[in-house]
Every structure is written in structure tokens, then in C-alpha cells.
Amino acid sequence: MAPLKRCTYLQLGSFLLIIIALFFVIRYIPFTNMIARNRLPKPFWEPLEADLAQTRQVRRIQNLLHAKERSVKQELMNYPWPSGMNSSWVIPKYGGNPIRAMILTTWRSGSTFLGDVLKSHPATYYHYEPLIHFGIHQIRSGPKAHRAQETLEKLLKCNYSNLDAYFTYAQKHHETFAHNERVWNSCQRGKEQSCWNPQFWGSMCKLFPFQVIKTVRVRANLIERFLEQSKSLNLRILLLVRDPRGTMQSRTHRVWCPGNPDCEDPAMLCSDLVNDYKTAQHLTKRYPDSFRVIRYEDFAANPEVHSKEILKFVGFQSHAKIDEFLKSHTNANIGGVSSTFRDSKTAPYHWKKDLSFDVIQTIQGKCQDALNLWGYRTYANESQLLNLHSVMPFVLK
């Protein structure tokens, strides 16, 4: 009995070995030439697996899209549409044209706060700094400007194709997408592959009737081409300006700023402010319904009133969600440097305490024209700094 059994095992073992050996022979012998030429084909099951994974991901994205479509609908329940209008007019997926708003500014000028106010509006898609992968540079002219304009235009139209550099950057720096919570949460905040899929973002984007794009890298001279199409794009652009002393003070707390002249040199900031002023004069005359300027200090002094005006300008309706956001974010002085949970009345003026008078004078020396044009007071001495308000009445002329 025992010898027989041992024999059966032996036979079975050899049989298996032969099968395995045969497999490798069949698998590799015909391709030895190719091995030599380093062109070994992938095992036959790999494409199948890739197909399956792709099918699974397509199906997954489809499910996420359906869920988001329902949640957008939910957010828009009881939305006070102007008479005769409904969501199919403004949701790209149903052939509508979304209501678009662009905030144009530079680093540390209060745009986080304004952006958060706008995205607290229901069913709002937030393109947060879509040129973030351009690095710590201001974009003013040349081939880079052309690429930046192209990127902005594509994103305004929910076209995420050929933006490899953007997605590569986003994979390493999740803040690229994280401010767009309505979509970022859908792909598990970066844990799912869909987060890096251009089709996912493109199709998600097309579900939203309200779109906000905030950019801190292009200068005002580059956005006229969007204003030319402002009717067909349903786009309003808001230039947000801040006292350069406040901007510079706020930037000193940022680790990414030092070593980058566009960020740390007040002369660069202020030459941009002067050029933006000239551009703004022209754009306000030419596109009074779709271009506007606001100073951060004015906005922060009265966020309730200014938010209402800005919402009206961009074509969003006032909403309880925005009132709620403002109430919880404008009084209590809690949270860290990047937090918008702080007292909006004092936030713009930390520089008056935190900068030495020497530094203030250095900045003023490089910013005389910018300060004059945008209505900010130049201080001759410390007693003036203590006693006189830095913000003077201002109208763009």
C-alpha cells in the first residue's frame, strides 16, 4: 500500500514539474530572439488585467459621477433661480453654460478668504490656483503666459486633457485639488486612482452650475482675452488688491517665499500693482459689466455687504449658506496663519505691528507709485503709523 502511494506522489510530482517546465519553455523559447533584442512581450494576462482594472475604474468613476449629480441636485433644492431660469441652463452636462467667476490676485492678498466665501455658495466648483504647478513665479508675458492662458481657458471649459504637469504636481501636493472639497471628497481625498484621472475631473466639472477660479500667478494684462469672451463664457473677473505692506508681511511667514524674487522683492510686487492699475483702468472702461476691482481691506472691513455686492456682480444668488459661513468666519480670532477663522476687521493690518518701521520704510521706498495709485497712505514716521489709517478712500479713475 505505502510503496504504491509513494509512487503515485512521485508520478504526480514529476508530471507537475514537466508542466511547469513546459510552460516556461513555451513562454520563452519562441522569444529568445526578442530577449536578445530586449523586446520581450508582456505575459498574455497582463493586458487582460489592465483591461479589467480600467473597466473597474471606468465603472467606479461612473458611480461617483452619478452620486455627485444627485448631491448637486440636492444642494440646488430650493435654489432661488432668477425667473425663467433653471439648472439645465447652467449645468454643462445638460448643455447649459455655467456661471463663472474668476478672482485674480497675487500671493497673500486675502484671496483665501474671498475664495472660501464664494465656494460656500451651493453647487460651486472651485478651481483653486490652477497654475500652481508653474511654481513661485508671476506670469506676465512670453511663452509661459501663453501656456498659462491656455490652461485657464481649458479649465474654464472643464477640459482637463493634456495637463500632465498639473496632475503630476497635484499627486505630490494635494492642496492643488483639496480646496475643491465637493469633488476631492468623492475620490477619497487622494486615496483613489480617480483623483488623478483627467476624465474624472472633466466630467465632475461639467456637473456644476457655478464655477469659481482663483489665480495668484497671472497678471491682469493677460486676462483681456477672457473678457472678450465674457458673454459666451458667462464670466466675471474680480481683481483683488491688497496694501503691499500687508502682502509682504504675510509672505514672510511662508516657507516657499524666500529665494523667489517675484515673492520676496517688494519692488516686483509693486511694479505689478502699478501695471495692474493701468490695465484695470482700461478693462473697467471696456468691460464695465464683467470686470471689477476690490481692495482686500475694504472687503474685510465689511464682508457681509461686500459679499452681497460681489455675488450680485458674478451672478450668484445670496444664500443662507454664505451668511452662515460669514458669521462663523469673521469674528472669532481662532485658527492658524492659513485659517480664515479670524477677525476680518484686524486681519489686514497685522503688518502695522509685525513690521519694524525700517522695513515699512524700505517697502514704501519701492512702492510709492503703487501706494498712491491704490489709495494707501505712506507713513512719514511712527507716530503717523499709530494714529492714521492706512487705507484712504479710493476710486479707480
Ligand X SMILES: *[C@@H]1O[C@H](CO)[C@@H](O)[C@H](O)[C@H]1NC(C)=O
Mutual angle of helices 111-119 and 303-314, in 10-degree steps? 60
Q: Which of 140-148, 156-164, 267-275, 310-318 is the region at the interface with ligand X (rule: CB under 6 A)?
A: 156-164
Quote the least distance from Cβ 73 to ligand X, whole Å: 9
Q: Which 304-363 positions form the footprint of ligand X (CB under 6 A)?
A: none
Shortest distance, position 297 Cβ to ligand X, whole Å? 22
- What 8-state DSSP symbol labels residue 302? S
Position 387 contacts ligand X (CB under 6 A): no
The interface region with ligand X, picked from 155-163, 179-187, 271-279, 294-302 by CB under 6 A, is 155-163
Is 368 a binder of ligand X (CB under 6 A)? no
Judged by beta carbon, residue 279 or residue 390, the one nearer ligand X is 390
**Is residue 25 classed exposed, middle or buried when 0-12, 13-18 and 19+ CB atoms within 10 A define those classes?**
exposed
Q: Using the rule CB under 6 A, is 388 a contact of ligand X? A: no
For position 87 contacting ligand X by CB under 6 A, the verdict is: yes
CB-based contacts of 90: which residues, under 8 Å, 6+ apart? 96, 97, 98, 99, 209, 210, 234
Q: Which residues, 6+ apart, have CB-to-CB distance to 369 below 8 Å? A: 270, 274
User: Can you tell me which of 32, 162, 229, 328 binds ligand X, judged by CB under 6 A?
Assistant: 162
Q: Which stretch in 82-90, 252-260, 263-271, 281-289 sits in contact with ligand X by CB under 6 A?
A: 82-90
- Transcribe 344-385 into DSSP letters: TTTGGGHHHHHS-HHHHHHHHHHHHHHHHHHTBPPPSSHHHH
Does the protein bind ligand X through residue 380 (CB under 6 A)? Answer: yes
Considering only residues 97, 159, 362, 372, which one is a binding residue for ligand X as defined by CB under 6 A?
159
The count of residues in the chain is: 397
Pairing of strands 124-128, 99-104: unpaired
By CB under 6 A, name the one of 383, 386, 387, 393 that touches ligand X. Answer: 383
- Find the binder of ligand X among 14, 55, 74, 161 (CB under 6 A): 161
CB 54 within 8 A of CB 101: no
Cell matching residue 120: 460656500
- In the complex, minimum distance from the CB of residue 180 to ligand X, in angstroms, rounded to a whole number: 19
Q: Contact, 316 vs 234, CB < 8 A?
A: no
**Cα–Cα separations (whole angstroms), residue 146 to 143, 164, 228:** 5, 17, 16
Binding-site residue total for ligand X (CB under 6 A)? 11
Nearer to ligand X, 168 or 328 (CB): 168
Options 31-39, 46-54, 220-228, 381-389: segment touching ligand X (CB under 6 A): 381-389
Q: Determine which helix (DSSP H) or strand (DSSP E) holds 156, and give its type and residue range.
A: helix 142-156
Q: What is the closest distance, in whole angstroms, from the C-beta atom of residue 373 to ligand X in the complex?
A: 21
Q: How far is CA 315 from CA 10, 179, 209, 339, in A?
A: 82, 22, 11, 27
Site string for ligand X, 227-246 (x = CB under 6 A): --------------------
CB of 227 to ligand X, least distance (A): 20
The stretch among 12-20, 86-94, 123-131, 312-320 that binds ligand X (CB under 6 A) is 86-94
Query: Minimum distance from CB of 161 to ligand X (Å)?
Result: 5
Count H helices and E strands in the chain, helices first.
21, 5
In terms of CB distance, is 154 or 319 closer to ligand X?
154
Q: Which of 57, 86, 112, 193 binds ligand X (CB under 6 A)?
A: 86
Q: Which one, 52 or 380, has the nearer CB to ligand X?
A: 380
Instruction: Based on the shown chain and the rule CB under 6 A, indicate whether residue 74 belongs to the binding site for ligand X.
Output: no
243 strand-pairing partners: none
Q: Give min distance, CB of 172 to ligand X, in A.
A: 22
Q: Which of 76, 190, 169 is nearest to 125 (CA)?
A: 76
Q: With contact defined as beta carbons under 8 Å apart, do 244 and 100 qualify?
A: no
Binding site for ligand X (CB under 6 A): 86-88, 154, 159, 161-162, 380-381, 383-384
